[in-house]
Amino acid sequence: MNIIIFGPPGAGKGTQSDFIVKNFNLFKLSTGDLLREEIKKKTPLGLKITSIVNSGSLVSDEIINILIETVISNSKYKNRIIFDGYPRNLSQAKNLNTLLSKYNQKINKVIKLQVSLNVIKKRITGRLTCPKCSKIFNEFFNPPPNNMTCCVGELLKKRDDDNVDVAIKRYETYEKSTEPVLEFYKKMNLVKDLNGEMNIESIQSKISDYLTVIEG
């Protein structure tokens, strides 16, 4: 099976896609990884990508499509791809469909992790890390024991790079750009909405249920 996982930044998409990769023996296709790999290999395309990135421009859909096709056409990954962070827009979604049919494949399921902006804000602003043992807590969802301390006498510090404004912006951009993509897959009856505000284990068990049905 080939699946797509959608979810706003901070929804736990990475955790869930890693779980799927491990339990269903899939290959995670992330365009960021593909680009980095190509740059590292210094292929002619890699060098082109390097100059585009260095100039501050965005890599075109055309280049992304070339990279995606190398994976889809590879028999090693046939019918075992999980797309993470792709397709990002309608034209990429349409192109992905064309590419998959070219290699006699299709998307079997689209999993959409639904998390409200309010919860994402709390996940960010409530995050606390123990400076001694690096354990991560959240003052709203997973408070540390003993009045904000974890290891004895160590205060938990909020990460200062957490910026709520950035998160809001990313969330809104995500919603706006993926809406037409989700509509596209809804018309194909492929979208499964999942409450991403449940705990990790509950989400994993739901995902397992969906995907086992496809496999069987």
Pick the closer one to Zn ion by CB: 6 or 137. 137
In the structure encoding, which two tokens stand for residue 80, read together?
């075992």
Under DSSP, the state recorded for 74 is -
What is the per-residue DSSP string for 51-116?
HHHHTTPPPPHHHHHHHHHHHHT-GGGTT-EEEES---SHHHHHHHHHHHHHTT----EEEEEE--
Indicate the residue among 50 and 129 with the shorter CB distance to Zn ion. Answer: 129
What angle, rounded to 10 degrees, do the helices at 31-41 and 61-72 form?
A: 90
Contacts of 126 (CB under 8 A, 6+ apart): 138, 139, 140, 141
CB of residue 133 to Zn ion, shortest distance in Å: 3
Whether the Cβ atoms of residue 177 and residue 86 lie closer than 8 Å to each other: no
Which CB sits closer to Zn ion, 82 or 150? Answer: 150
Q: How far is the CB of 149 from Zn ion (least distance, A)?
A: 8
CA 103 to chain centroid, in Å, comes to 24
CB 166 within 8 A of CB 112: no
Looking at the Cβ atoms of 83 and 137, the one nearer to Zn ion is 137
Q: Which of residues 114-173 bind Zn ion (CB under 5 A)?
A: 130, 132-133, 135, 150-151
Tokens of 10: 């901070």
* Total number of residues that touch Zn ion (CB under 5 A): 6
For residue 123, the minimal CB distance to Zn ion (Å) is: 20
- Interactions with Zn ion, residue window 17-46 (CB under 5 A): none
Which positions from 42 to 61 touch Zn ion by CB under 5 A, shown as an x/- string? --------------------
Nearer to Zn ion, 44 or 145 (CB): 145
**Residue number with CB closer to Zn ion (29 or 156):** 156
Q: Which two tokens stand for residue 144?
A: 């540390």
Minimum distance of Zn ion from residue 147's CB (angstroms): 14
Q: How far is the CB of 155 from Zn ion (least distance, A)?
A: 10
CB of 119 to Zn ion, least distance (A): 25
> Which residues are at the interface with Zn ion (CB under 5 A)?
130, 132-133, 135, 150-151
